[in-house]
A and B are shown apart, each in its own frame.
Chain A
């Protein structure tokens, strides 16, 4: 428990890890746009290729990425089934099977070629979306760097009195304390287990009751921790974002700009590939 990975950050030293987090946020947004631009088989081929390339560059093991896709399998099957059976088109693949329901009602099963394509595209879109965002952001950026980047990117909102710095600081603190609290939870659970607590048997109410000996000490210590942190920050004259300098100054390098430009070019390419009208082109 001690070394639990918070979020999904995977420590490594890849070009993506080294990138400026702001560039990575922009890249992720652009990449999401790209996945939604794709309409035909050629585009999706390019998209899948780019996802594979990104994964290879990130040094994140394939095993970890596959693990993050696993929970999506239900959603993927569901959407593809709906797409296969519900999409109407011109190329009918099946003879019109009819399943009698009740009275004179029948259910006509008709599968069109367009339905199969749409289903495939939707699966690819969701998978690439997940792989792309996780490789570009969650696996390669520490949560702290991420909030830092967001603070900088949303800095213009300060003009309209949005407390960007405070929100970022609160998020950073919240993120920072998640592993601490998890560790604490584990410790208190162990301590109560050592006194014979049983968290796994009994009905819902009994189990909820069994958690009380964990929740109460946890809340007490979370409050204490918050008071201590507030005092420590005040002792060091923390007074918000005004005139605050940073220990780690974010610097955009040429490679960051280049990566963003490259992705814009990629998106433009996909945009024009769609217009070629090769094969089935998905609507909407």
Chain B
């Protein structure tokens, strides 16, 4: 089953004023469990807005957001009818049952931001504590965990995000940009969310920093089997690290599926001004020149492997 399902979701900013702006227009997306999904699109295509809908920070103007099949914005009133027949509530008095349902819905709303952990764009600006340790502990503390559990989670999160333990007692304001970002990401990972959402996690980092961050995210995903959503506008990174992709353009979803499926629609990507990865372009051109290699190659590593094999086979032909 889908981990997250957006059903005909629209979102409008400042509706009814001269500044009205529709950020999402009838968007339907399925996001699979235990996969890395890339959401890609230009600035202003509605990517960040979509992410804020996932953890309940904003509510869609119309449409529904489902997490594990539960509409995250549903109110107790809407649920009375169906839930009153559930075994937990069936045998209770009606007023008691209603109260219990209301409480459950409240609790679910509160839990939502812990279940879907959102790392916003440039998250290093949200650091505030005296020490890195305390800052990472902020989320788990809000969850009401014990000190011991918090400590464990902080250490684990720091490890996942490649933070050295010696940094934990430093002030987050003394760190470098890349380290700050890692602290912010660790702060969300420490909540052990079922879905980790990262909005442009590598923006403004140098190439090595980018690679490290993405590697760490992948390592985290593989070892926890959680679902990860990465928002980016770089096709290269997406091709390298994502299993699935959703392409947004002008507030609409124009393509979704596995990376192969999406990249095979080259002309459509061209139309919205998104480039397929350079390595894919290179391989296609080589193929056009008559070299017998597959055309759906999206990562440099795979390309190297294929070209090596091709070279070996050609050498055999020559001698």
Contact = CB atoms under 8 A, between A and B. Distances in A.
B139 interface: yes
B128 A213 contact: yes
Interface stretch (B31-39, B79-87, B118-126, B255-263): B118-126
A194 B191 CA distance: 10
A276 interface: no
A89 interface: no
A277 interface: no
B128 A216 contact: yes
Contacts of B187: 195
Contact of A5 (B19, B120, B139): B19
A190 B57 CA distance: 7
Interface stretch (B10-18, B275-283, B284-292): B10-18
A212 B187 CA distance: 17
Given A3-B21, A217-B125, A195 B120 contact: no
A191 B57 CA distance: 9
Interface string A223-241: 0000000000000000000
B173 A194 contact: no
B153 to A, nearest CB: 13
Contacts of A188: 125-126
A193 B57 contact: yes
Given A188-B126, A212-B128, A213-B138, A194 B118 contact: yes
A194 B120 contact: yes
Nearest to A194: B118
B149 to A, nearest CB: 15
A221 interface: yes
Interface string B185-208: 001100100000000000000000
A260 B9 CA distance: 52
Contacts of B188: 194-195
Question: Interface SS of chain B: helix, strand, loop or mixed?
Answer: mixed
Given A3-B14, A5-B17, A187-B120, A194 B128 contact: no
Please provide the 7 A-B residue pairs with the shortest distance between their CB atoms, ordered closest to farther.
A196-B142, A3-B19, A191-B126, A195-B139, A216-B128, A194-B118, A213-B128
A10 B120 contact: no
Given A193-B113, A194-B117, A198-B142, A217 B57 contact: no
Interface residues of B, number: 28
Contacts of A196: 113-114, 138-139, 142-143, 191
B119 to A, nearest CB: 8
B124 to A, nearest CB: 9
30 contacts: A3-B13, A4-B14, A5-B19, A11-B18, A187-B120, A187-B125, A188-B125, A190-B52, A190-B57, A190-B120, A191-B120, A191-B126, A192-B126, A192-B138, A193-B113, A194-B55, A194-B118, A194-B120, A194-B188, A195-B142, A195-B187, A196-B113, A196-B114, A196-B191, A197-B138, A197-B142, A213-B126, A213-B138, A217-B125, A217-B128
Interface residues of A, number: 25
Contacts of A194: 55, 57, 113, 117-120, 188
A161 interface: no
A247 B280 CA distance: 48
Contacts of A192: 126, 138
A187 B18 CA distance: 22
B108 to A, nearest CB: 14
A196 B142 CA distance: 6
B127 interface: yes
A1 B58 CA distance: 11
A159 interface: no
A73 interface: no
A18 B119 CA distance: 44
Nearest to B193: A194
Interface in A198-253: 198, 212-213, 216-217, 220-221
Given A194-B55, A196-B142, A197-B142, 12 more contacts: A3-B19, A5-B19, A10-B18, A11-B18, A188-B125, A194-B57, A195-B187, A196-B113, A196-B138, A196-B143, A212-B128, A217-B128
B132 to A, nearest CB: 15
Which of A11, A190, A191, A221 has the most chain B CB atoms closer than 10 A to its own CB?
A191
Given A3-B19, A195-B188, A213-B138, A221 B125 contact: yes
Contacts of B14: 3-4
A10 B17 CA distance: 10
Interface in B106-154: 113-114, 117-120, 123, 125-128, 138-139, 142-143
B113 A195 contact: yes
